[in-house]
Amino acid sequence: MDINIEGLVYAFSALGAGIAVCSGIGTGIGQGNAAGMAAQAVGRNPGAKGDIMSTMLLGQAVAETTGLYGLVVALLLMFVKPFK
């Protein structure tokens, strides 16, 4: 069995890309939790719907950046070739 450095780097790049994409799991859980809590808050106080929704959307935008950073890292690991 002949293991070269180039193949090893490509293998670990693919493994790292898979791990980086897993950051989307936490993002999805956090956004679902925020939406559920906002729905409960609107159910309790319908008059504050505008304030609750704007705060929820801001929080979800901040949470989404984590998933997007993971996606960018995964794309860089998969498509940027270290050996040229």
What architecture is the 27-77 domain classified under in CATH? Up-down Bundle (1.20)
Q: What is the pTM of this model?
A: 0.75
Q: Which of 72, 73, 63, 65 is nearest to 29 (CA)?
A: 63
Q: Which residues 6+ apart lie within 8 Å of 83 measured at CB?
A: 6, 9
Structure-token pair, residue 27: 């993002």
pLDDT in tens, the chain (84 residues): 678 888 888 899 999 999 999 988 988 898 999 999 999 999 999 999 999 999 999 989 988 898 899 999 999 998 988 776
